[in-house]
Homo-oligomer: A and B are copies of this chain.
Amino acid sequence: MAAQPPAAAKAPRTERGRKTLRKLLDAAAGEFGDHGFHEASISSITRRAGVALGSFYTYFDSKDAIFRALVQDMSEAVKVAAREAIVPDMQPLEIERAALQAFLEFAGEHKEVYRIIDEAEFVDPQSYRDHYETVAARIRERLETGGAKGELRHGLGEIEAWALMGMNVFLGLRYAIWREEGDPDSEGVARAANAMLAKGVAR
C-alpha cells in the first residue's frame, strides 16, 4: 500500500528486502481483515505472502508488531490516497471534496481498512488514537489554510476538524463498506457531503 515502510517494522536494507516487507504487510492486511487479530497467525501471514517464516522475524518480533506496523501502513496509505487526489490550484473546499472521494474509493478497494483500524482500538489503542489524531491534525491544517486564503471561515479549528473527519469516516462506513445496490457513487456522495460542509443544512 503506502510507499514508505512503517516505523514499527525493522527497516529493510535492500530493494529485495523492501519487497518482502511489502508482501508481508499486504498478506497481513488480508489475514487480519479476514480473520481478525486473535484468529490470525504468523504462519498464515507468511504462507499468504509466499515468504519463509524466518523472513518474518527479520522485520517483526511478533504478531503484535506486524499489526502495529500494518495500522501505521494503512494510516499512511489513507493519507497518500487523499494527497494524490489533490492537485495544485484546488481551492480549500474542492480539496475536501477530492480528498473524501479518494478516501471513499480507497475504502471501497481496501475494505479491510475499517476492520483493521477499528480492531486497533482493542489490540493496540495507541496506534488507534495516533491514527485519528494525525488525520484530524491534517484536516485542521487544511481548514486553517482555507481560512487564511479567505475561502473558509476564520476560526475553524480542532472541533471542526474532528467533525469533518467523523463525517468522512461514517460516509465511508455506509457507502464503501456497507455499500448497497442503487447507492450513489463516490463522486455523488462526496459532492453531497461537500455541499453540506460548504453551506451547512440551514435553509
Asked if residues A166 and B160 are in contact (CB atoms below 8 Å), the reply is: no
Number of copies: 2
Asked if residues B201 and A143 are in contact (CB atoms below 8 Å), the reply is: yes
* Binary per-residue interface labels of chain A (167-192) against chain B in the complex, 1 for a CB within 8 Å, 0 otherwise: 11111011100100000100001001
CB contacts (< 8 Å) of A121 on chain B: these are 115, 118
Inter-chain pairs besides A38-B38, A151-B203, 17 sampled, C-beta below 8 Å: A93-B202, A132-B173, A150-B203, A152-B203, A153-B202, A156-B201, A159-B192, A160-B196, A162-B170, A162-B171, A162-B174, A163-B170, A163-B196, A164-B167, A165-B170, A166-B168, A198-B202
Can you report 20 residue pairs joining A to B where beta carbons are below 8 Å apart?
A: A36-B122, A119-B122, A122-B122, A129-B178, A143-B201, A153-B202, A153-B203, A156-B196, A158-B174, A159-B184, A159-B189, A160-B193, A162-B170, A162-B171, A162-B173, A163-B167, A163-B196, A166-B166, A166-B168, A197-B200
